Amino acid sequence: MVAEDHSDPARHEGPAQRYRRLFGSGESTERTVFFSDAVFAIAMTLLVLELILPADLDPAQLDAALRAHLPPFLAYVLSFAVIGTAWMSHHRRFTVILRYDRRLQWLNLLSLFFVALLPMPTSLLSDYGGGSSPWPVALYAAVTAAVYASLNLVWVHAWHAGLMASVVDAALYHYVLRALLPAPAVFALSIPVAFWDPVLATWTWALIVPAAVADRWWLRRPSRG
């Protein structure tokens, strides 16, 4: 009688367990990064479609058409900056996120969902942002805050799941996490303001610059104690 071999637990796994073990994690994030870069690039390209002037425009109407395109252009600049800074943050973080698991991939897809969605509220903001309705401004602020917040969720999970390079210690982890907080915080706080005064809410977005500068100064100050 041949004794049953218990030395290899993998032999007793079912298909579902083997699937999770073999395909649920990996040692390379290359394909994740390539796919993410493509989504960022497509979202940036879609933004510019709002700026295309009609081909049959009368030359006498050109000045008026350009003035009418000023709000879409400003919305384009803002959203390009949002997507651009989000891409730079994603790119930098994935230089030290070396491995992946299923949750990291889902969180990354969640982040890309909001990135790909951003052209829609951008169009809504450029067309109706100057009106009395709070929804164009509130929706834009909500999606933009979600773009940055979801990037931080990716970072938090990668740290706790041990998916990062060993050079990332607790101090660097918290520094990177804090560095991206001013933008989503300001956008999120502007949402209730939009229901009081939509135009004022858009002006509050300018607070991102001094908030980011102050936060970087705080993070870079010498440690005491």
Strand, coil or helix: 22 = helix
In the chain, the percentage of residues whose pLDDT exceeds 70 is: 82
Instruction: Assess whether pLDDT exceeds 70 at residue 87.
Output: yes
Q: Give the CA angle between residues 93, 108, 102 to the nearest 5°.
A: 110
Range 108-116 average pLDDT? 97
Least confident of 4-18, 33-47, 64-78: 4-18
Instruction: Assess whether pLDDT exceeds 70 at residue 34.
Output: yes
pTM of the model: 0.85
Range 67-84 average pLDDT? 87
By CB neighbour count within 10 A (0-12 exposed, 13-18 middle, 19+ buried), where does 35 fall? Answer: middle
Instruction: Assess whether pLDDT exceeds 70 at residue 102.
Output: yes
Instruction: Assess whether pLDDT exceeds 50 at residue 1.
Output: no
Query: C-alpha 179: how far from its chain's center?
Result: 14
Torsion angles phi and psi, residue 39, rounded to 5: -65, -45
- Average pLDDT of every residue of the chain: 86
57 or 171, greater pLDDT: 171
Instruction: Assess whether pLDDT exceeds 90 at residue 110.
Output: yes
Cβ pair 200, 193 in contact under 8 A:
yes
- b/e map 189-201, b = 16+ CB within 10 Å: ebbebbeeebeeb
Cβ pair 100, 163 in contact under 8 A:
yes
Pairwise CA distance, residues 41 & 26, whole Å: 25
28 or 117, greater pLDDT: 117
Query: C-alpha 13: how far from its chain's center?
Result: 38
CA distances to 57, 120, 145, 212 from 208, in Å: 38, 22, 12, 6
Pairwise CA distance, residues 38 & 148, whole Å: 18
Give the residue from 187, 95, 104, 177 showing the smallest Cα distance to 138: 187
**For the segment 189-224, what is each residue's pLDDT rounded down to a tens digit?**
999 999 999 999 999 999 998 888 887 787 777 654
